[in-house]
Structure 1
């Protein structure tokens, strides 16, 4: 392998180790030493790949978000071209994909917050991307609604995030189908009234 290929391979091993360790025991509890041991690389090799734990978390979070955006876009694209179908496909696509692997749900909705200010910009970019999907699929608000589509989209995203945090943290998580039906209900109450 070339030096570039070795570096890329080490980065992938670190991202894979972080995917497991940042979800359990969690970001604050995961040291560089633990990451290096799990990835089977030296501390020096870690710093050739990332400047620190936060940069690794950002790379992992960004990857999770991109994979999720791709999954949601595909679900919406394959849905029948009606508002209810697109809404339900997008919400189900998001929640199903995120909960498919508990580590992904935990990283995207809990550990990213525990990582602190260093990931604020990354979180905002993710919210912006998901907001655009919602706004693009809501044609018009009824005249009786005196709120902006953008703010309503942010509210729906916040509600879905809280549903997923509940799913991650509770000993007996609610069924995924209940998360989806609740999120769809919140969406309709926010946008359709």
Structure 2
């Protein structure tokens, strides 16, 4: 029989502690950076002991990867929802997906530092970032092939989607760093035009 404490089962309390550790790791990684995201700092921010850290994670890298997965999952959910609601026209689908990304990064700038900047400084995070880039590119590619059809082709869809996702990451970091004298509406318009030209070229 599973015991409960204050209405929560042991499994639920474990899930809650894990979520607190991930949120603490995300806050540290997204605001103070990789060097400040230590196990001690994470436990302190989550108000949990190291015993509970090891209850959910084998080591710090495992937590960092979970943080990245959680952030990427939030982004993917936003993008998929935007794609589902957008009009069934290729340019509108892409525009909606891009603005879903923009909206999230503006609402929670931590995601830029955690996913795009700090993830480059740790081998485990860098590998996971690579996986997420390819997964998001796969999502873009699948929708592109669906809406552009044979005009795009598999190889061109894959290449174009990787260029879009990878390039968007670089543009985001440059814009956040104040290196670009432009705005998101201009960026989104340029990306939509470029991808449309690739699909119809």
The question of whether the paired residues in 2 share the 8 Å contact of 1:68 and 1:97 is answered with: yes
- Paired residues in the alignment total 190
Per mean C-alpha deviation after superposition, the further-off stretch among 5-14 and 53-62 is: 5-14
Q: CA deviation at 1:155?
A: 0.9
Question: Gapped runs of 5+ residues in structure 2?
Answer: none
Instruction: Return the offset for 1:163.
Output: 1.1
Give the alignment's TM-score, normalised by structure 2.
Answer: 0.82
Larger Rg computed on CA atoms: 2
Which one of 50, 57, 61 corresponds to residue 54 of structure 1?
A: 61
Give yes or no for contact 1:96–1:176 (8 Å, CA) kept in 2.
no
Unaligned runs of 5+ in 1: none
C-alpha distance 5-128 of structure 1, shift in aligned 2 (>3 A): same
Please report how far the alpha carbon of residue 174 of structure 1 lies from its aligned counterpart in structure 2 after TM superposition. 5.1
Moved over 6 A (4+): none
Match of 1:82 among 86, 89, 97: 89
1:118 corresponds to 2:124: yes
Match status 1:98 vs 2:98: no
- Aligned partner of residue 41 in structure 1, secondary structure: coil
2:178 is the counterpart of 1:170: yes
